[in-house]
């Protein structure tokens, strides 16, 4: 059964490249990004893990814990990390889960039999501090992920969790946002003192409220 938005993210215990972890304990009080890789020593994954490490400060300032997963074992992960650090000029210090028994992959429906019966697809899960699934993305094995897009979505998720707004197409941090339809136009000034523009009765935009 696939996970849907708003579902509880299942807890699990696993061996990782930084030692044994409990998912709930490791991510307590934080947002989390859990993403999977088909296997170790693969070229696209090497660039993805390297990019994640390079963006460490960006994830940290958003209070995000990152966890990667591959179906290979810890020893392979540790050797692979050496290659990643060397080729991507970075330092991988976040956990890579060793999922040799496919336990976590099956729990999160990361194996799609029509794509591969043994390897995980490129799944991405963003989980909130409430342990609810906030975002799911699925890429084919051949396509590397856009981590700036993942950060952009996290910015939107964190903003819209705090304010009654939505973010328009291609929105980036600092740009105008949309007032949700549930707020009456006459009530907008009290909630959004920076002002607003009514483009249509159902489309009201306002400056990002926390900027």
Spans of all domains in the chain: 7-145, 163-206
For the chain, the straight-line distance linking the first and the last C-alpha, in angstroms and rounded, comes to: 40
pLDDT at 101: 87
> What pLDDT is stored for residue 95 in this prediction?
98
pLDDT at position 117: 46
Residue of 45, 71, 150, 165 marked catalytic:
45
* Average pLDDT per consecutive 10 residues, the chain (211 residues; last block may be shorter): 89 97 98 92 94 98 97 95 98 95 88 53 90 93 91 98 97 97 96 96 97 87
Which residues, including other chains, have CB under 8 Å from residue 99's CB and lie 6 or more apart?
A: 14, 69, 70, 71, 105, 120
Cα atoms in the 13 Å half-sphere on the side-chain side of 120: 32
Q: What is the pLDDT of residue 48?
A: 96
Query: Tell me, what's the pLDDT at 43?
Result: 92
Could you identify the residue written with the tokens 């939107």?
Answer: 156
Catalytic status, residue 45: yes
pLDDT at 121: 59
CATH number for 163-206 (one of 3.30.1020.10, 3.10.20.740, 3.40.640.10, 3.20.20.70): it is 3.30.1020.10
| DSSP characters over 142-194 | TS---HHHHHHHHHHHHHHHHSSEE--TT--TTS-EEEPTTS-GGGHHHH-TT
Question: What fold characterizes domain 7-145?
Answer: Glutaredoxin (3.40.30)
Residue 35: C-alpha distances to residues 95, 137, 172 (Å): 11, 9, 23
* Tokens 């709930």, residue located: 24
Chain centre distance of CA 148: 10
In whole angstroms, give the CA distance from residue 146 to residue 124: 11
Would you state the pLDDT for residue 157? 98
Q: What is the rounded CA–CA span in Å between residue 187 and residue 193?
A: 10
Exposure b/e, 170-203, CB count within 10 A at least 16 = b: ebeeeeebbbeeebeeeebeeebeeebeeeeeee
Question: Mapping DSSP to helix (H, G, I), strand (E, B) and coil, where does residue 22 land?
Answer: strand
Strand partners, 34: 67, 125
List all residues 6 or more positions away from 159 whose beta carbon is below 8 Å from its beta carbon. Answer: 165, 167, 177, 208, 210
């Amino acid at each position: 059964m696939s996970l849907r938005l708003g579902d509880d993210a299942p807890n699990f215990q696993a061996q990782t490249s930084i030692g044994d972890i409990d998912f709930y304990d490791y991510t307590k009080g934080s947002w989390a990004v859990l993403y999977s890789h088909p296997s170790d020593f693969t070229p696209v994954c090497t660039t993805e893990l390297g990019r994640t490490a390079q963006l460490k400060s960006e994830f940290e300032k958003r209070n995000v814990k990152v966890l990667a997963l591959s179906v290979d074992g810890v020893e392979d992960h540790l050797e692979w990390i050496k290659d990643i650090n060397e080729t991507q000029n970075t330092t991988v210090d976040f956990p890579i889960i060793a999922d040799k028994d496919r336990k976590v992959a099956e729990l999160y429906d990361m194996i799609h039999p029509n794509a591969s019966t043994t390897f995980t697809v490129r799944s991405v899960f963003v989980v909130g501090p409430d342990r609810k699934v906030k975002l799911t993305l699925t890429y084919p094995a051949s396509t590397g992920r856009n981590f700036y897009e993942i950060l952009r979505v996290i910015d939107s998720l964190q903003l819209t969790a705090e304010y009654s707004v939505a973010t328009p197409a291609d929105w980036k941090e600092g740009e105008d946002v949309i007032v949700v339809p549930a707020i009456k136009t006459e009530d907008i000034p009290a909630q959004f003192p920076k002002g607003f523009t009514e483009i249509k009765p159902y489309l009201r935009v306002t400056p990002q409220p926390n900027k």
